[in-house]
Amino acid sequence: MSKEFPEGTPADFRGTSNEQDVLNTQMAVANRLLELLLRGDLYVEKYQLEGNPQLEFFVDRFENKLAGVTATFNVLVPNDMTIC
């Protein structure tokens, strides 16, 4: 058995990539941003989420086998400009 994995590690996990860890981390980053737009300082400063955001996981998107999460959403932005 490999030194990397403890005894009893399922064969499915031997030699795999960190793809699940990357997707989990990127989903957490996207969720954090969305929460700030829903409830955090950004919301108080009137940068607010509009509608329902869409999160989409991707793997092997480019030549370097990039993996991550695409977040699509609309943000309402304050406009303090006056005509004068």
pLDDT along the chain (84 residues), means of 10: 57 66 92 89 88 90 82 91 80
37 phi and psi, to 5 degrees? -75, -25
DSSP labels for the chain? --SSS-TT--GGGTT--SHHHHHHHHHHHHHHHHHHHHHSHHHHTT-EEEEEEEEEEESS-STT---EEEEEEEEE--------
Q: pTM of this prediction?
A: 0.67
pLDDT of amino acid 28: 95
Domain ranges of the chain: 20-76
